[in-house]
Structure 1
């Protein structure tokens, strides 16, 4: 009787511990579908220097950059008395992992930047503009 009880206990513990394991197989692909979302720009580096506080005015800090599956892009400042809103397009070259985002009035103008990091929530792109290397970090807060 004790053996049956112990064997049953071992089986139950084994089943419980294996059923509680979390699935860590979520893949983050660099694709239009997976990168689509609403972002906030959280960090801007130019020439290796962090210029976030200089570049990110209160209105830009409140802004969201919406990248849609149909490759439309919308920049919208949501803070009080902020008026920056503009539409445009975005694209991703799946062969080179280069992304481009352009909204009207050059509010957001990222051209052929390399996706250097993507973990399904934080997108880091880097490139060169007018001879200066830059890196921009965008954090996704919503998937449309």
Structure 2
């Protein structure tokens, strides 16, 4: 399957509107006579990422078409910038629409609110190496990371 990417014509979110929260609590807590026992339910909890963008009319149409047609109504995942690390401008993350983007106008300004599920970072953080310390690569000389 091919990787979908948010269209480059879509503007970046307004920085003051960026918000992240866990999708659910990944810890199970059980009360016993000896005390509380906590266990991990899953190894990774996806995050809910919400933001606001201010597109032009044409950019808003591209965004809605991307949701409706390219992402099959929000079912398919896509790659977009990882806004949790604003200084790393090359870092991508994998997102999925949680719902159709809501939008409205005020005078001639459009505002679209996005609510996305952030599944994982697209690129790894730590390079994988063999027992001698050489970085492992794929057949196309792409470095493998965690």
Q: Give the TM-score, by structure 2 length.
A: 0.28
Normalized per residue, the structure richer in strand is 1
| Higher alpha-carbon Rg | 1
Normalized per residue, the structure richer in helix is 1
Q: Give the TM-score, by structure 1 length.
A: 0.28
